[in-house]
Amino acid sequence: MPAVVLKSLEMAFGGQAVLKNVDLEIGDREFVVVVGPSGCGKSTLLRILAGLEAPASGDVLIDGQSVLGVAPAKRGVAMVFQSYALYPHLSVFENMAFALKVAGKAPDEIRAAVERAARLLGIEALMDRKPKALSGGQRQRVAIGRAIVRKPSLFLLDEPLSNLDAGLRVHMRHEFARLHRELKTTTVYVTHDQVEAMTLADKIVVLNEGRIEQVGSPLEVYHAPKTLFVASFLGSPR
């Protein structure tokens, strides 16, 4: 059974169609990259998966169950936003512990989960700092840490590298690949960056103007593009 199924998903804002008849299956433990130009509907798709937005029509199944109407906190998903959205007044530890505290976990359990995630991300030494005392790359690690301490069954990442400089982007790309090998959490990763898509994905979903143009392995979409758009978007060097 696929971990996630999107069925005939439609979304519109102010009469403008943003997602058009989106059908997609995501396998358990799969790393799926949704790639497409700015404004094509990537963030909207993730927000619907996370439960932050309701689709106009269609269905979203997680582990075989429709989650429409299920609150974000009850979906077993964790999302990392483009802006990271850390709490500025809280320390790194408190940022990472926040969701677990709200969920009523015991202090010992929270500390253990935060320390484990911090070790995995190499940020053990930053636990007492405030976000403003961190570099862009460190903030991004904290944002990821905050998501993984919850042990989500589905990990959603919205252009997590777009605020980093080119060198750090390459480094963090490798970190994401490593993290996925270790945690094996089903992941939907959204980007407009073709290189990120080609290097990270088990499966690439090419989105254009709210429509899925092609779904396939990086090799398939690169060597056998189904549409002119896919050929020009993924085939041409940047």
**Positions in the binding site for ligand ADP (CB under 6 A):** 13-14, 18, 36, 38-44
Closer to ligand ADP by CB, 42 or 141: give it: 42
Distance CA 21, CA 58 (A): 8
- Smallest gap from Cβ 237 to ligand ADP, in A, equals 22
Could you tell me which stretch among 5-13, 37-45, 196-204, 206-214 binds Mg ion (CB under 5 A)? 37-45
Closer to Mg ion by CB, 43 or 140: give it: 43
Distance CA 35, CA 198 (A): 10
- Smallest gap from Cβ 199 to Mg ion, in A, equals 20
Examine residue 191 and tell whether it contacts Mg ion (CB under 5 A).
no
Closer to ligand ADP by CB, 15 or 167: give it: 15
Q: Which of 30, 43, 97, 216 binds Mg ion (CB under 5 A)?
A: 43
- Smallest gap from Cβ 169 to ligand ADP, in A, equals 18
- Whole-angstrom CA distances from 128 to 47, 90, 95, 157 are 31, 9, 10, 25
SS3 for the chain is CCCEEEEEEEEEECCEEEEEEEEEEECCCCEEEEECCCCCCHHHHHHHHHCCCCCCEEEEEECCEECCCCCHHHCCEEEECCCCCCCCCCCHHHHHHHHHHHCCCCHHHHHHHHHHHHHHHCCHHHCCCCHHHCCHHHHHHHHHHHHHCCCCCEEEEECCCCCCCHHHHHHHHHHHHHHHHHHCCEEEEEECCHHHHHHHCCEEEEEECCEEEEEECHHHHHHCCCCHHHHHHHHCCC
157 has which bridge partners? Answer: 80, 189
- Smallest gap from Cβ 187 to ligand ADP, in A, equals 17
Partner whose footprint covers residue 40, from Mg ion, ligand ADP, none (CB < 5 to 8 Å by kind): ligand ADP
- Smallest gap from Cβ 98 to ligand ADP, in A, equals 25
Examine residue 194 and tell whether it contacts Mg ion (CB under 5 A).
no
Could you tell me which stretch among 35-43, 48-56, 147-155, 169-177 binds Mg ion (CB under 5 A)? 35-43
Closer to Mg ion by CB, 43 or 138: give it: 43
Closer to ligand ADP by CB, 13 or 87: give it: 13
- Smallest gap from Cβ 71 to ligand ADP, in A, equals 19
Closer to ligand ADP by CB, 39 or 107: give it: 39
Residues that bind Mg ion (CB under 5 A): 43
